[in-house]
Chains A and B, each alone.
Chain A
Amino acid sequence: MNPITLSMFTTALLSGTLITLSSTNWLMAWMGLEINTMAIIPIIARKHHPRATEAATKYFLIQAPAAATILFCAITNAWMTGQWEINQMSTDLPIILILISLAFKMGMAPVHSWLPDVLQGLDLMTGLVLSTWQKLAPFYLILQLHSTHSLTLILLGTMSILVGGWGGLNQTQTRKILAYSSITHMGWMLVILQFSPELTLMTFTLYVTMTLPVFMILHQNNTLSINKLPILATHTPTISALIPLLLLSLGGLPPLTGFIPKWLIIQKMSHLGLFGLATITALSGLFSLYFYLRLSYISSITMSPSSNLTTATWRLTPNSIPLGLKTTIVPSMMLLPLTPMINSLLL
């Protein structure tokens, strides 16, 4: 793509989300979402091969009706109460529909099945944009509706955690696994949303921090399926040593960053006496831990048999580690000791 065109779409992508973030009115929020969709579609279809075009078509056919449903609910709310403000929705039916269609836009559990498909058609950097930045605007709208309809939020959240874990179990494509991991993390955010929106925000931030280096590493080595993961050991040995820690951090094992949100969420739930919900979420986190563990096992815990010629490619072409990777790989593993600080900053 021409860099000028690309910069125009990137600007639109940024400003669409910013319009949604800075609006108090449903109409403006809807406009921001539409601009966002409009800007990402040429970026998705940038390579023009059949898979990219198909991903763009699917993304469009999902996002356009979802955005229309959001606006429909807003108008219905205005017909009923005369209110256009986002955080002053008061009638049940529009709220439930709007939550479901926002979940549809983000790709959460009962309406998630487009996300692995669409992500499969993209290159990993566009996939990174799709699974982080594109979720920001609907996520923010859901964040503003946090005290509205608790049953819908809980159902969406627990179903996302379960489905994200189950869906990823049998996948061999890294992009699909990352999509399911994104579904799971969104589920954790929605489960805690009505009890503590700050925790949700923190989970989102930490999810972005953790998923960024994973996407970048896989992009750098062009590992699109599991059986290409052993390449990491020959291309970038240092990163190959770090990637199990990164993946387990995504899965939420204790000495790593990913443990913070899970710890605080479960702590909050047990403070509120919701032991059943806490047990379900904690146990269903094990599903996703299983496939992270499998990824890290294949990538660096075992050595795949290879000839002597291929073992040292990192000497021939020194891979420079991109700056974004350098800066995010440390916080995505080592933030746990800073939990009190994060706690006091965000909560």
Chain B
Amino acid sequence: MPSTQFVFFTMFFLSLGGITFYRNHILSVLLCLEGLMLSLFLLLAIWSLETNTTLFMATPMLLLAFSACEAGLGLALLIATTRTHGAANLNSLTTLRW
């Protein structure tokens, strides 16, 4: 595994750790999700560029579209949560415990 690939792996796992260990603002979690998608985009794009697979060149675009969809949905949920809970905090999402 070349070091460049290690860099992308590090990006992915950093973002995943950021999502996992953070309990405060939903927006920060959504930013981490964007970082996750960025590293996936890079991995996919560079894989198809290195192997010169023309058929796979379009897939990073689709990934980008899907990650944009996810980001949009996340922001909508953020708004909905702010409206219903009064705060966009992950700590305040506790009504489902009972």
Q: Are B73 and A54 interface neighbours, CB within 8 A?
A: no
Most buried by B among A34, A55, A57, A121: A57
Q: Does A173 contact B (CB under 8 A)?
A: yes
Say what secondary structure dominates the interface of chain A. helix
Partner of A49, one of B1, B9, B78, B84: B84
Q: Does A143 contact B (CB under 8 A)?
A: no
Q: Does B69 contact A (CB under 8 A)?
A: yes
Q: CB-CB < 8 A to B69: which residues of A?
A: 34, 38
Q: Are A57 and B73 interface neighbours, CB within 8 A?
A: no
Q: Are A68 and B85 interface neighbours, CB within 8 A?
A: no
Minimum Cβ distance to chain B for residue A337 (Å): 41
Most buried by A among B37, B44, B90: B44
Interface members, chain B 1-28 (any A CB < 8 Å): 1, 5, 9, 12, 16, 19, 26
Q: Are B40 and A71 interface neighbours, CB within 8 A?
A: yes
Bound-complex Cα distance A184 to B6 (A)? 38
Q: CB-CB < 8 A to B93: which residues of A?
A: 54, 57-58
Q: Does B51 contact A (CB under 8 A)?
A: yes
Q: CB-CB < 8 A to B98: which residues of A?
A: 120, 173
**Known interface pairs A34-B70, A82-B51. Does A50 touch B36 (Cβ–Cβ under 8 Å)?**
no
Q: Does A86 contact B (CB under 8 A)?
A: no
Q: What does the 1/0 interface line of B78-97 toward A look like (CB < 8 Å)?
A: 10110111000010010111
Q: CB-CB < 8 A to B31: which residues of A?
A: none
Q: Are A75 and B77 interface neighbours, CB within 8 A?
A: no
Bound-complex Cα distance A65 to B37 (A)? 9
Partner of A64, one of B70, B81, B85: B70
Bound-complex Cα distance A75 to B39 (A)? 11
Q: Does A203 contact B (CB under 8 A)?
A: no
* Interface residues of A, count at CB 8 A: 34
Q: Are B80 and A65 interface neighbours, CB within 8 A?
A: no
Q: Are A57 and B77 interface neighbours, CB within 8 A?
A: yes
Minimum Cβ distance to chain B for residue A206 (Å): 29
Q: Does A155 contact B (CB under 8 A)?
A: no
Q: Does A21 contact B (CB under 8 A)?
A: no
Partner of B29, one of A61, A68, A72, A75: A61
Q: CB-CB < 8 A to B84: which residues of A?
A: 48-50, 53-54
Q: Does A45 contact B (CB under 8 A)?
A: yes
Interface members, chain A 304-332 (any B CB < 8 Å): none
Interface members, chain B 52-82 (any A CB < 8 Å): 59, 62-63, 66, 69-70, 73-74, 77-78, 80-81
Q: CB-CB < 8 A to B90: which residues of A?
A: 61
Q: CB-CB < 8 A to A173: which residues of B?
A: 98
Bound-complex Cα distance A19 to B72 (A)? 22
Interface residues of B (CB under 8 A from A): 1, 5, 9, 12, 16, 19, 26, 29, 33, 36-37, 39-40, 43-44, 47, 51, 59, 62-63, 66, 69-70, 73-74, 77-78, 80-81, 83-85, 90, 93, 95-98
Closest 7 CB pairs of A and B: A50-B84, A117-B96, A53-B84, A53-B80, A120-B96, A75-B43, A57-B77
Interface residues of A (CB under 8 A from B): 27, 31, 34, 38, 41, 45, 48-51, 53-58, 60-61, 64-65, 68-69, 71-72, 75-76, 78-79, 82, 117-118, 120-121, 173
**Beyond A68-B33, A72-B39: 11 further Cβ-contacts under 8 Å?**
A34-B70, A48-B80, A49-B84, A50-B84, A50-B95, A51-B95, A53-B80, A57-B77, A64-B74, A75-B43, A120-B96
